[in-house]
Amino acid sequence: MKKLIIICLALSLSGCAAFQKAEDIFNAATTVTVSPQSIVIAANSFNAIEASATNYLRLTRCDKTSSKVCRDKAVTAILIPAVQNARKARNDLIAFQRAHPGELGTQGLYDALQLSLTTLTGIMTTYHIGSAVQ
């Protein structure tokens, strides 16, 4: 009987340690922060990419006889939602920074913008938007 109590106690303590470790991981994942400078840099990066995307969207639509530089309908269909998602992520991050001046920003908002920037950069690279190659 004494051995059974010791085993149960050991199992319950190891369960507590596992729970504590899981709680520590959750707290670390939800409280990681980024500097205000990183927020500004990420927002400015989006602003530059947005300018290139906007210039692309201002081009005339491609047609079968077009020999000039034009915008492709398929590219436009994926570029517009990507810009909108990135704009929302940037605006959310800036809104947080304005509501909490001088404080560190949340990692989640920053990561959302970084993911949007990666998506936009991939689209622009694939379709040579913002480059001399068309």
Is the CATH code 1.20.1270 the one for domain 33-126? yes
For residue 6, which amino acid is it? I
In angstroms, the first-to-last Cα distance of the chain is 80
Q: What is the pLDDT of residues 82-123, one digit of tens each?
A: 999 999 999 999 999 899 888 888 889 999 999 999 999 999
Instruction: Extract the tokens encoding 108.
Output: 């989640």
Q: Could you give the C-alpha distances from 125 to 5, 49, 72, 79, in angstroms and in order?
A: 64, 11, 15, 12
Ramachandran bin of 101, using left for φ above 0, alpha for ψ from -120 to 50, beta for the remaining angles: beta
- pLDDT at position 73 is 92
Q: What is the pLDDT of residues 49-76, one digit of tens each?
A: 999 999 999 999 988 877 688 899 999 9
Instruction: Extract the tokens encoding 27.
Output: 């707290």
